[in-house]
Amino acid sequence: MNDRAAQTAALTAYARGFFHYRPPLSVADWAQSSVELSGRVTEQSGPYSLALHPYVAEVLETIRNPNVKRVSLCWGSQTAKTTSFYVMLGYVIDQKPQPILWVFPNAALCKTFSSDRWMPFCRESKVIDKHLPRNNEGGIDSDRFTLQKQEFDRCTMNLVGAGSSANVRSYPIAVLVLDEIDVIPEATRRECLDRIKGKQDFKVLQSSTPISEAGGIWQEFQEGDRRRFYVPCPHCGEMMVFRWKNDEGDLNLQWDEAAKNEDGSHDLALVARSTFYRCEGCEGKIVDTQKLRAMKAGRWIAGSKTAELGVRSYHLNSFYSPVITFGRMAVEFLKSQATVDGIRSFVNGWLAEPWRPETGGLINPDAFKQLQGDYQRGDLKGDYRIIGADVQRDHFVWIVRGFDRDGRSYLIDEGTCPSFEDFTQLIASYSISYGIIDTGYRTQEIYEQIHAARPFWFGAKGWEKMPTSYRMSKLDPFTPDQKRARSTINLLHINKNIWGQEMLKKRSGQSMNWHVYDGIGVEYIRQMLSTNLVERVNKRGKTVLEWAVEGHRQDHFWDCETYVLALSHVFGLGGAIIRDETSEPKPRPRKRPQAERPRSNFWKK
């Protein structure tokens, strides 16, 4: 009787255990037990793990949470943003099959990404591979598993480029993925979002590195609940976010002061070795070995209580990346300071913040003194010299700037002259190598003067919008049909926005390699401070940055300096780090003779 009672009790316990409710696996648990990543997909190949990316767990869970409808990731470089999307979509395919539409900035990127990354992920993860369409021989059916349409056993995924809103109109959508939305046309993105209106069960996943504050992922972050990942300080225990600067504007990264050389450059190896993060609360020194431990104890905290229900937005900069050290962040920052493009890329890609150009509004004449060098007006400075001229109705405004090979430059002289012939004496007295002159006014006259003094002079043409920072072209001023041009001059087309921002940086002293002579005149300072980027509200109600000249001030010296700066980079002074691969080949540097055939080496004296 006791044996039978024991057997009955055991059978009852077994039955209860069999029918006992088991909560479904979290997305993180499902992924870590099922997903395999290859080296073609990520640097951390092998079984998927959150050990190095603890901040991803909550984000993954949003794909299963019925209360979350829209998720926006404003994340920096190497933070597992794309890999997180792999896992979330894999979960949909395996656990909650629904039609998926993945939208990329263009068709070429879509096909490359699908071929090189997404399709290998599907084939090499067994949990996804079992859902792939099969042919009669048991292999993958290539007609139903293509670059842009993949028919899994219980759902279909379409991958499209955002070249036209028509590309997205014919697809059923329950899960919408918008990748790099800052470069997807806004009309196409809105068309995609309209496709899910009225649906009860849907998900929108958006990601990008931010480009501007007006629209895109930054606006999505602001409209969501603005979550940031807080970690405890290893010293004081206060919860904090890793960020670039504190409220006073000081860098939170610190490195050995000995890493800065006398010429303003840095010993990057010493910077990489000595950098640490300073806690804003206790000023404790946080090193790389403490970062991962702090992240494992971290949590997401929403910064907005007024966001629409179900709209999550997450911000994460590259400080949190397990493969990026504090030292590497500091080195990348210092390297980026060479150009405006470099700073913009660092702010967008590493800090995951929109680029806010230096407007120059805080610069004052007294601050301009820091740019004065230990030399006098007229001193012959630099290895090579360039003259820049701006054309007025009855005179010319000019500056002469000397350059060292590393790009360090020195204003030698500036002034006005009544006629073009007056440049001859200036050129001879300062041993000037090349010149650049504005061609927007008195155009044909200037073309002919450039032609008479070939190859010394370049013509300058400024453009509000250009796809590149500069472009070189040739023009025959005496031939209407340029296809039959025989005797041409050089024209340098300049992107005024890019080079204007470069000048703002030079003017502010950030570059530490742009100098004016001691006792620089008030008029030069006034004109160099007259041009700024200012915020204005356009007709659509959006805040935009526009170039403006204050009051009725003149900015002729500003224009001359901008022309000279652009030409110096064309010739490679300072490494020509702004040069675009799409620009035409740079002109071959030659020393200027007026009537002789140019020599093979322009810079040779």
For 153-193, the pLDDT digits (tens) are 999 999 988 765 556 666 778 999 998 888 887 777 877 88
Residue 455: cis peptide before it, omega within 30 degrees of 0:
yes
Q: Which residues pair with 397 in a beta bridge?
A: 390, 416
Q: Which amino acid is at 133?
A: P
pLDDT at 592: 42
Secondary structure class of 126 (helix, strand, coil): helix
Write down the architecture of domain 367-575 according to CATH.
Answer: 2-Layer Sandwich (3.30)
CB atoms within 10 A of CB 19: 8
Q: How many other β-carbons are positioned within 10 Å of the β-carbon of residue 378?
A: 12
> How confident is the model at residue 345, as a pLDDT?
87
Which residue reads 């010319």 in tokens? 396
- Cα 549 to chain centroid distance, Å, stands at 27
What pLDDT is attached to residue 361? Answer: 41
CB 50 within 8 A of CB 29: no
Fold annotation for 1-226+303-324: Rossmann fold (3.40.50)
Length of the chain, please? 605
Residue 211 is predicted with a pLDDT of: 79
> Where do the domains of the chain lie?
1-226+303-324, 234-299+325-356, 367-575
Residue pair 175/101 in contact (Cβ under 8 Å)? The answer is yes
Retrieve residue 304's tokens: 């907005």
Q: Which residues of the chain have pLDDT under 50?
A: 359-363, 575-605
